[in-house]
């Protein structure tokens, strides 16, 4: 029986390679996660979303899977994983695993076999003859999300295979019913081991347009043609739900480029029996998860986007996040030049996100206000950044200064610097040199320092998470924006069965005047949460201080 537990849950994302090194080899691992379970419990979160820990050659840091039923050697063993799961469940924490099934690694046994034209696994992937006299031109003009052509030529079989990401990540052919059954079997394998749900990676890519027609390439080399939510997407997801998800008290969330508030009901309404929730990226100011072009933040537009998701029927559960492994750190993106008010700004963002009708996701380090890193070109390790640099150097060398500037804002590497636990060697992440550059500001920004200060960002997250737990007004209440076009203030009302919450946040590093709106009426008020110790006990006409945030209970 599905309890829909995720409607009253806060989920913490762990990127295992960068979370904590338990064996001293410089790489985060499962033993490291086990050592921090009490810390995770102390946050008050209900579940952990764990980025991939399966066997992988690591072309895309684990999102290229070579064995779905085993654990990557660098991270530990299946027994370590079981110990971790038992430790989470003993602490009341559920586990949501990453499900990466649009593609596999080219080192997966299925793909190795598929190179043989006569193999039963040939149709597990999307192989096509090329164009031109000798078939040496790609079957169509599709481009990879990691820049460049989406096709790779295989000399052995004389055909091309499709990869919407790295050439080492060949796309699975979901039109093959055997592939769909394999995916269901993989899900059930992990469910039977005790997993509580899945985050489904680029899941809206699984159904390709019939005939694989040419796309409208926006720009040679870095053009994008995504073909999301293809003709059989809903059919495939409903089938997977029936064969797997619906059999367990599970939660599924899809990385769902192409799902918008306009069509979300077709994808996540409880009655359609597909996914439970989805991640959208429109509020992040990007077109899709791996979009590298920075956009200027506009609070009025941001609120309008979030409001559209909030107005979905109660049978559709939204999500909200500010950071993840594919996105840079949130502070510079949303609040601009926070200068010496980093923690106040972090508290403002936490307040505005945690009290909407949504399942909130917090990414490791977000709770202490970790920041982007001032990388040099040689510091970037992620395939997206390195591929962009390679192609710019090859085709447009004069644009390299601009490319470097863009990556300092948008590279995925920013989210993958090691977790900053202490001000000691390697930020307490490892006893040896970490696999990736540690942000030099770990001396000032770390968990140990936050633990020692009652007014820290970490302790504010704990208070806010504890406050939202179990409150019907947050789980089910109506959402209405106050001053939706205001470019400085994010304010909204939550109301349910006579109970009312008023959330008021100044997004600016400057004082901003707030005038009480006519629709905000009450007889009594209680200040439930604030990032200033002397905030007003009730909302009124006032000047909000820099990044001031408050939550009021109203009667």
In the chain, the N- to C-terminal Cα span, in Å, equals 36
Strands (E), 322-408: 359-363
Give the contacts of 107 (CB within 8 A, at least 6 positions apart): 57, 64, 66, 168
Quickly count: other Cβ atoms within 10 Å of residue 15's Cβ: 22
**DSSP 8-state code for residue 115:** T
- Burial (0-12, 13-18, 19+ Cβ within 10 Å), 462: middle
Instruction: Assign 166 to helix, strand or coil.
Output: coil
Active-site amino acid positions: 201, 255
Q: Angle 457-468/342-354 helices, nearest 10 degrees?
A: 10
| Token pair in block for residue 209 | 């347009």
| CA pseudo-torsion sign 277, 282, 288, 294 | negative
Euclidean distance between CA atoms 127 and 328, whole angstroms: 35
Tell me 208's DSSP state: P
Long-range contacts of 121-126 (CB under 8 A, 24+ apart): 123/173, 123/176, 123/178, 124/172, 124/173, 124/176, 124/178, 124/179, 124/182, 125/161, 125/162, 125/170, 125/171, 125/172, 125/173, 126/161, 126/162, 126/170, 126/171, 126/172, 126/173, 126/208, 126/212
Query: Minimal CA–CA distance to 70: which of 59, 86, 81, 61?
Result: 81
| Phi, psi of 54, rounded to the nearest 5 degrees | -75, 170
Q: How far apart are CA 15 and CA 29, in angstroms?
A: 10
Cα dist. 457→51, 343, 530 in Å? 24, 5, 12
Who's near 133: CB < 8 A, 6+ residues apart? none
Contacts with 461 (C-beta within 8 Å, 6 or more apart), sequence order: 43, 350, 362, 367
Matching residue, tokens 């790609």: 138
- Give Cα 487 distance to the centre of its chain: 26
Residue 500: strand pairing partners: 495, 554
Closest CA to 338 of 549, 546, 548: 546
CA 268 to chain centre: 17
């Amino acid at each position: 029986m599905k309890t829909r537990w995720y409607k009253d849950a806060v989920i913490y994302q762990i990127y295992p390679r960068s979370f904590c090194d338990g064996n001293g080899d410089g790489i985060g691992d499962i033993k490291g996660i086990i050592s921090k379970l009490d810390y995770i419990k102390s946050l008050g979160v209900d579940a952990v979303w764990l980025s991939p820990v399966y066997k992988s050659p690591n072309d895309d840091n684990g999102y290229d899977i070579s064995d779905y039923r085993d654990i990557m050697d660098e991270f530990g063993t299946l027994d370590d994983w079981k110990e971790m799961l038992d430790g989470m469940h003993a602490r009341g924490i559920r586990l949501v695993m990453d499900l990466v099934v649009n593609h596999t690694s080219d080192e997966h046994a299925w793909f190795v076999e598929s190179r043989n034209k006569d193999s039963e696994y040939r149709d597990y992937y999307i192989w096509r003859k090329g164009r031109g006299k000798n078939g040496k031109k790609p079957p169509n003009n599709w481009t990879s999300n990691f820049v460049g052509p989406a096709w790779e030529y295989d000399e052995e079989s004389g055909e091309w295979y499709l990869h919407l990401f790295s050439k080492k990540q060949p796309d699975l052919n979901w039109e093959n019913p055997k592939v769909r059954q394999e995916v269901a079997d993989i899900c059930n394998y992990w469910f039977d081991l005790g997993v509580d749900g899945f985050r489904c990676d680029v899941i809206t890519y699984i159904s390709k347009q019939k005939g694989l027609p040419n796309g409208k390439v926006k720009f040679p080399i870095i053009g994008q043609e995504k073909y999301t939510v293809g003709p059989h997407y809903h059919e495939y997801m409903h089938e997977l739900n029936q064969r797997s998800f619906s059999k367990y008290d599970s939660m599924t969330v899809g990385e769902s480029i192409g799902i918008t508030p306009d069509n979300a009901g077709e994808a996540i309404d409880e009655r359609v029996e597909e996914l439970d929730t989805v991640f959208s990226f429109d509020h992040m100011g990007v077109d899709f998860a791996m979009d590298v072009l920075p956009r200027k933040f506009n609070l009025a537009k941001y609120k309008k986007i979030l409001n559209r998701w909030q107005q979905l029927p109660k049978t559709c559960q939204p999500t909200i996040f500010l950071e993840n492994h594919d996105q840079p750190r949130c502070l510079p993106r949303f609040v601009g030049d926070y200068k010496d008010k980093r923690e106040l700004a972090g508290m403002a963002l936490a307040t505005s996100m945690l009290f909407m009708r949504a399942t909130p996701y917090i990414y490791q380090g977000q709770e202490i206000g970790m920041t982007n890193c001032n990388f040099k070109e040689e510091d970037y390790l992620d395939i997206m950044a390195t591929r962009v640099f390679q192609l710019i150097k090859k085709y447009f060398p004069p644009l390299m200064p601009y490319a470097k500037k863009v990556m300092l804002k948008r590279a995925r590497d920013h989210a993958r610097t090691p977790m900053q636990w202490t001000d000691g060697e390697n930020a307490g992440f490892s006893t040896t040199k970490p696999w990736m550059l540690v942000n030099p500001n770990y001396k000032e920004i770390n968990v140990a320092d936050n633990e020692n200060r009652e007014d820290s960002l970490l302790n504010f997250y704990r208070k806010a998470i504890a406050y939202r737990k179990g409150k019907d007004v947050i789980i089910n209440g109506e959402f209405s924006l106050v001053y939706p076009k205001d470019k400085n203030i994010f304010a909204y009302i939550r109301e349910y069965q006579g109970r009312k919450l008023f959330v008021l946040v100044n997004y600016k590093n400057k004082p901003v005047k707030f005038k009480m709106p006519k629709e905000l009426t009450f007889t009594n008020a209680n200040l439930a949460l604030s990032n200033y110790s002397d905030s007003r006990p009730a909302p009124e006409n006032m000047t909000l201080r820099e990044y001031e945030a408050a939550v009021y209970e109203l009667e």
